[in-house]
Structure 1
Amino acid sequence: MPRFSANLGFLFTEYSEIERVAAAAAAGFKAVEMHWPYQVPAAEMRSALSRSQVTMLGLNTPVGNVAAGDFGLGALSGRESEFQQSVDQAVSYGHAIGATAVHCMSGLVSPDAVSVAEQTFVANLKLAADKADQAGMTLLIEPINHRDKPGYFLHTIEQAASIIGQVGRRNLRIMFDCYHTQIMQGDLTRRLKDYLELIGHVQIAAVPSRAEPDEGEIDYHEICRSLDSIGYGGWIGAEYKPRGRTEDGLGWLSTWSQGQSSNDRGAVA
């Protein structure tokens, strides 16, 4: 049966970042993930997770200079040192709070820089994966759609699989976001099956609204059945933008997560 985690970058934003952990636990989530929790001291975050008996799955590398339009640094030639610093920060913070994975963001590139960007991303990920491995953590790379983020370097599942092959590290996996992949490519159930061995985490949200996964063009009941049938054993991250108060939109969770506790494991794998 599916096991759902709450992405606290989008869910429970009615609360402070620390309070979101307890709110997620009260709503029935046994695992959470975050985008950029670095302003919260690691000791405080770890205590909050321990009090609520919630597993922290993963977090993102810092995006870079937000004012300059950065959205990740991994594929940006000439900024390798900044990217490695962002990896060091993410791995150190993640390890301190007990997280199991770090999502390495590739960044935005122009069409004429794609070839160099791929070489840069591959070289950067080799170093980053080794750092994460020393901390016992997984690295994730996520294709992001060009409607929401025009120019994002990593934007298809096949591209991610190719990069993983070039990097050649056992702890580098795909974060398969159904929302992004549906917009860019579709054919979700086939791609989930074809790339199962490379998938480290799955995320869901309605398309096109990115709201609760109980509306829109994706049948997530079928996606969950497909994940069960192909033997996916990881978590499914609820990374959507609630239509209103988070708790008021969680009817889908109780319906879909029957039997969740009987197959509870604490890792993104």
Structure 2
Amino acid sequence: MSFTAARFDVNLSMLFTELPLLERPAAAAAAGFEAVELWWPWPDDPTPAATALDDLRTALESAGTRLVGLNFYAGQLPGPDRGAASVPGAESERFRANIEVAADFAASVGCTALNALYGNRIDGVDPADQDALALDNLVRAAAAAHRAGATLLIEALNAAESPRYPLVDAEAAVAAVRRVNEASGIGNARFLLDLYHLAAGGADLAAVIDRHIGRVGHVQIADFPGRGARGTGALRLTDLLDAAGYEGFVGLEHKPSPDGSAAGLGWSR
């Protein structure tokens, strides 16, 4: 098996960001992609007006692009935040308010993967209390995703860039997936395999893929070092996934080329 461009999707929160949000799906389509993914597009608003959601849906449909991955509300991305599921107080309330909004939007566009970032550790809060809050919120998210016909994704980030994020290796993220599946009884939580973050954390990528490929619900890639497009670093990204027989979508979640977003995507065709 080998990869084709149809297998890849473009993360519109990292690529084509020189354009307004509603123009990015068309730019991805012009670059040859039929599938896209997004972080939550309104970092200041977990419950945007229906018109904003309608406009995004129209932009996706007009461009002929399918949304294959969407984050639940995660705070300021890019920025200091790394999700809200485990963060007590107002952020947890925003996460809960967003759950049905994000799931309903995903269902309306046929998106079948919803990513919930765990959230940073907070000074003065017992980590066990944060983990209990996260479990409660992630079970709620799993139920909403299930109603929308979607998978709930949980990912590991790297400690160098996210030192307060507790899920910094595959084992920690997969353990969280297991806890959610056991608590929900649904079984729709899966591991988001982000090869850039795992490589930045020093993981043996081939070993991680071999050990956890059966639990993977989505893949994201960027080369390492640098978080650029494939070929700008040292990782054998597509070789590793081909060898494992992975057949899902692969999100291109990397920095744009210095010559523009489209210039760094030619290899995928």
TM-score computed with the length of structure 1 as normaliser: 0.84
Structure-2 residue corresponding to 1:192: 209
Q: 127, 135, 154: which is aligned to 1:114?
A: 127
Q: Is the 8 A contact 1:73 1:106 kept in 2?
A: yes
Structure-2 residue corresponding to 1:208: 225
Matched, 1:92 2:96: no
Q: Using the alignment, how far apart are the partners of 1:195 and 1:45 within structure 2?
A: 34
Q: Is the 8 A contact 1:156 1:185 kept in 2?
A: no
Structure-1 residue corresponding to 2:167: 154
Q: Is the 8 A contact 2:87 2:122 kept in 1?
A: no
Q: Using the alignment, how far apart are the partners of 2:242 and 2:122 within structure 1?
A: 39
RMSD: 2.2
Amino acid at match of 1:5: D
Amino acid at match of 1:52: A
Q: 13, 19, 22: which is aligned to 1:15?
A: 19
> Relative to 1, partners in 2 of residues 1:82 and 1:23: Cα closer, same or farther, differing over 3 Å?
closer
Secondary structure class of the residue paired with 1:174: strand
Q: Using the alignment, how far apart are the partners of 2:54 and 2:112 within structure 1?
A: 16
Q: Is the 8 A contact 2:73 2:94 kept in 1?
A: no
Matched, 1:6 2:17: no
Q: Using the alignment, how far apart are the partners of 1:250 and 1:128 within structure 2?
A: 33
Q: Using the alignment, how far apart are the partners of 1:20 and 1:44 within structure 2?
A: 12
Secondary structure class of the residue paired with 2:126: helix
Amino acid at match of 1:218: L
> Relative to 1, partners in 2 of residues 1:82 and 1:250: Cα closer, same or farther, differing over 3 Å?
closer
> Relative to 1, partners in 2 of residues 1:148 and 1:200: Cα closer, same or farther, differing over 3 Å?
same
Note the C-alpha offset of 1:214: 1.2
Q: Using the alignment, how far apart are the partners of 1:199 and 1:113 within structure 2?
A: 30
Amino acid at match of 1:173: R
Note the C-alpha offset of 1:49: 2.1
Note the C-alpha offset of 1:42: 2.2
Q: 236, 241, 253: which is aligned to 2:268?
A: 253
Q: Using the alignment, how far apart are the partners of 1:226 and 1:150 within structure 2?
A: 27
Q: Is the 8 A contact 2:155 2:173 kept in 1?
A: yes
Note the C-alpha offset of 1:132: 1.2
Note the C-alpha offset of 1:229: 3.0
Q: Is the 8 A contact 2:113 2:218 kept in 1?
A: no
Q: Using the alignment, how far apart are the partners of 1:37 and 1:77 within structure 2?
A: 22
How big is each residue's C-alpha offset from its partner over 1:123-165, in whole Å with a ceiling of 9 and x where there is no partner? 2211210111111111111111121122012221101111111
Amino acid at match of 2:28: A
How big is each residue's C-alpha offset from its partner over 1:164-220, in whole Å with a ceiling of 9 and x where there is no partner? 112223211111111101111321112112111111111111212111121212122
Q: Using the alignment, how far apart are the partners of 1:72 and 1:128 within structure 2?
A: 13
Q: 35, 39, 46: which is aligned to 1:35?
A: 39
Structure 2: 5+ residue stretches without partners = 43-47
Note the C-alpha offset of 1:69: 4.9
Q: Is the 8 A contact 1:45 1:97 kept in 2?
A: no
Secondary structure class of the residue paired with 2:157: coil
Q: Using the alignment, how far apart are the partners of 1:116 and 1:185 within structure 2?
A: 29
Structure-2 residue corresponding to 1:51: 62
- Identity score, percent: 35
> Relative to 1, partners in 2 of residues 1:7 and 1:69: Cα closer, same or farther, differing over 3 Å?
closer
How big is each residue's C-alpha offset from its partner over 1:58-86, in whole Å with a ceiling of 9 and x where there is no partner? 211222478x9543211224564432112
Amino acid at match of 1:188: L
Q: Using the alignment, how far apart are the partners of 1:75 and 1:216 within structure 2?
A: 33
Structure with the greater relative contact order (CA < 8 A, sep ≥ 6): 1 or 2? 1
Structure-2 residue corresponding to 1:125: 138
Structure-2 residue corresponding to 1:177: 194
Q: Provide the aligned length of Structure 1 versus Structure 2.
A: 250
Q: Using the alignment, how far apart are the partners of 2:71 and 2:138 within structure 1?
A: 14
Q: Using the alignment, how far apart are the partners of 1:55 and 1:49 within structure 2?
A: 7
Query: Comparing 45-54 with 158-167, which one deviates more in the overlay?
Result: 45-54
